[in-house]
Structure formats: structure tokens, C-alpha cells
């Protein structure tokens, strides 16, 4: 199946054969609640006859999303509590997130920011908000790195990216600009010379963190887009969400990590799935995740080893999920120590 444009309505999904007629009403209820978009390259990758297709599972809405559990949260990693000005999240001393835009080319069904992204989400920063965000960064010499995320920052036009990068380039204490994106795999044609040029800032080092979850996402076009970025001198790292029914298998994870490395992308983070609303069907337990990561350790090169990360619910930051900072307690619950040394429980006890 090839599509000329992104599928973003239930009618589109039914017409493309990705949602069965008898699931139309349920799917409409999901689409009413959470944004939907599947780009043509992904539509082409989906095997509509396979009920367990790992690409469909990531992007095609499922009735299971209508079930929200008590421990799930609208803001699972506590962005809002650490947002000093609109669009900035400042949780760690030396780095901030800058969320200039809240739309994405695709909407992942497991998204941890699903209550904030989408056509009806938080929108794009206004010029005044962007001024305030840049002023916040410029005024704090301890900020060494800015992480552009969202939403997907690579949906911005090269002109807008260039403007933003020029303003960041003017901040002396800032050394690193990192983009978090899914565009090279979900819309590789967008990665052209003008866009790549716009990601560079004079005197700064640019990192591009690619979010991909299954080796099949690396189509020939995606590999070529990645090669254009790396050939231009930008450093690429990876980000993967560990997802039940997508990549919760040691062979799939090993193949995915090797694919990153073969494409000159250093595996960086493997995220334990967050407590985002309507995503219980994607979550495995921390014990299951740790066992999978343990199996990956022995079987593939050290180049292929990501750090296994849990974002502590409530905004306490990330913790290495396979480290001494995470201890299994007798009741199957885990005790986590955050970067400040405070203890939390997972799953959270209060909710």
C-alpha cells in the first residue's frame, strides 16, 4: 500500500486498509481523544494482514488506548513542574529542553507527551515566547546544552530553524545543541541540504538523536537520509522506547541496535515506557525490561549497548534502570534513587 499523503483521519485509515470497518467506531473514539498521523513511508511498511505488525502497532490507533489506569498521568515525566517559561523545561542544572513546536509528522500511540502534542496540543511558541525562552537560556551561564524537542523540531522550516540556531549561536556559554527527532525515518525526504545546513550553529556542536523502535523502520530512503546528516558532520545518537509487541524481544533489540551502529548512529537511550494515559498495553514490567537488557549485554558488541533509562514519574529525572540506583524490593516493587539522592517507588505508590 502506498499513500500520497499522511493518514490523519479514521476514514483515511479505513480506506488504506489499516483499520477494519467493524473497528471504525472505536477507532473514531480514540482519534477524538489523541492525535493521529501516519506518513506515507510508514504506511508502505505496514503489513495490513499481520495483526501483530510492529509498525502498525506504533502508529495505528487501538481501542486499548481508551483505557486509562489510575497510575497513568497526563504529564508522566513532570515537564510542567519544571517549566520556568513557556517552552523550556529545566530539570538538570546544565541542560534544558526547548520545545518550540508541539506537532509531529507522526503520532506515536505510546507518546509520553500525548496530552501536549498534536494539532490541538500546546501549539508553536509565539515570537514573544521564543524571545523569553532564548533570554532564559542566555541569562544562565550554567546551561551548556539545549535539547530541541517537542513535538518534533524538524517539522519547522529550514528558515525558522536557521533563525533559532543563529540566536542560540550568539549565546557564548552554550556549547551543544541536540535535536530529538523521528523525521529521518518517518519522512526521510524532508532531510535535504537546506534542512541539514539549518541544524548547524556557528561555534556549537550539533547532535541529532533519532527516535526509532524497530529495525524495519530503516528503509533505504531512511538510511540515505541518515547518511546525509552524518556526512554533513553532525553526530547522531539513538533513542528507543522499549514497547511490548514492538521490540520486547532480545533478537529484535539486538538487530535494532546493530542497525543504528551500521548507520553510524551510536545507541544512546533505551527508555522504559512512561506512564502515559492509555498506554498500558505497551508497558512491560521493570523486571521484564531488566531481564531483556541483561540478555542484550552478552550478545552484541559494546557499540550496540544503549543505557536503559527510566524517567521517574513526577519529574524527578532519569535513572539507569539496570544500575545500583534501582533495587527490587520484596513486594515486586522497585526502589529508585534519583540524581539528587532521593528515593522513589516504581510503580509509584501514591497516584
Q: What residues act catalytically?
A: 91-92, 95, 104, 108, 111, 113, 274, 311, 318
From the list ligand PLP, ligand SF4, none, partner contacted by residue 296 (C-beta under 5 to 8 A by kind)? none
Q: Which of 23, 102, 182, 318 binds ligand PLP (CB under 6 A)?
A: 318
Binding mask 158-177 for ligand SF4 (x = CB under 6 A): --------------------
User: C-beta of 38: minimal distance to ligand SF4 in Å?
Assistant: 11
256 binds ligand SF4 (CB under 6 A): no
Q: How many residues bind ligand SF4 (CB under 6 A)?
A: 11
147 binds ligand PLP (CB under 6 A): yes
From the list ligand PLP, ligand SF4, none, partner contacted by residue 182 (C-beta under 5 to 8 A by kind)? ligand SF4
Nearer to ligand PLP, 95 or 281 (CB): 95
Calpha distance 5→338 (Å, rounded): 43
Scan residues 98-157 and list those touching ligand SF4 (CB under 6 A): 104, 107-108, 111, 113, 117, 150-152
271 binds ligand PLP (CB under 6 A): no
In the complex, the residues that contact ligand SF4 under the rule CB under 6 A are: 104, 107-108, 111, 113, 117, 150-152, 182, 211
In the complex, the residues that contact ligand PLP under the rule CB under 6 A are: 77, 89, 91-92, 95, 97, 147, 318
Amino acid at each position: 500500500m502506498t499513500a500520497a499523503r499522511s493518514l490523519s483521519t479514521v476514514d483515511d485509515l479505513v480506506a488504506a486498509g489499516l483499520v477494519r470497518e467493524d473497528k471504525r467506531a472505536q477507532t473514531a473514539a480514540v482519534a477524538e481523544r489523541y492525535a493521529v498521523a501516519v506518513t506515507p513511508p510508514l504506511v508502505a511498511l505496514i503489513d495490513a494482514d499481520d495483526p501483530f505488525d510492529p509498525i502498525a502497532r506504533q502508529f495505528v490507533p487501538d481501542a486499548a488506548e481508551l483505557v486509562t489506569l489510575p497510575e497513568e498521568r497526563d504529564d508522566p515525566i513532570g515537564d510542567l513542574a519544571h517549566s520556568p517559561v513557556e517552552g523550556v523545561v529545566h530539570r538538570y542544572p546544565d541542560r534544558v529542553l526547548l520545545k518550540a513546536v508541539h506537532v509531529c509528522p507522526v503520532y506515536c500511540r505510546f507518546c509520553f507527551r500525548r496530552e501536549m502534542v498534536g494539532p490541538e496540543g500546546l501549539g508553536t511558541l509565539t515570537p514573544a515566547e521564543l524571545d523569553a525562552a532564548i533570554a532564559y537560556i542566555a541569562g544562565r551561564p550554567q546551561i551548556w546544552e539545549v535539547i530541541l524537542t517537542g513535538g518534533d523540531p524538524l517539522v519547522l522550516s529550514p528558515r525558522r530553524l536557521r533563525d533559532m540556531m543563529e540566536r542560540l549561536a550568539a549565546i557564548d556559554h552554550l556549547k551543544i545543541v541536540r535535536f530529538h527527532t523521528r523525521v529521518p525515518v518517518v519522512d526521510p525526504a524532508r532531510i535535504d541540504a537546506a534542512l541539514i545546513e539549518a541544524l548547524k550553529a556557528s561555534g556549537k556542536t550539533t547532535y541529532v538523536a533519532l527516535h526509532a523502535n524497530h529495525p524495519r523502520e530503516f528503509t533505504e530512503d531512511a538510511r540515505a537520509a541518515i547518511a546525509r546528516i552524518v556526512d554533513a558532520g553532525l553526530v547522531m545518537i539513538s533513542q528507543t522506547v522499549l514497547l511490548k509487541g514492538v521490540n520486547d524481544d532480545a533478537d529484535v533489540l539486538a538487530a535494532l541496535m546493530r542497525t543504528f551502529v551500521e548507520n553510524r548512529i551510536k545507541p544512546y537511550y533505551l527508555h522504559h515506557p512512561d506512564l502515559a494515559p492509555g498506554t498500558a498495553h505497551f508497558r512491560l514490567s521493570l523486571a521484564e525490561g531488566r531481564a531483556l537488557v541483561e540478555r542484550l549485554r552478552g550478545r552484541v558488541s559494546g557499540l550496540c549497548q544503549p543505557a536503559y533509562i527510566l524517567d521517574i514519574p513526577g519529574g524527578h529525572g532519569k535513572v539507569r534502570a539496570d544500575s545500583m540506583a534501582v533495587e527490587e524490593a520484596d513486594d515486586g516493587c522497585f526502589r529508585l534513587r534519583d540524581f539528587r539522592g532521593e528515593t522513589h517507588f516504581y510503580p509509584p505508590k501514591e497516584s
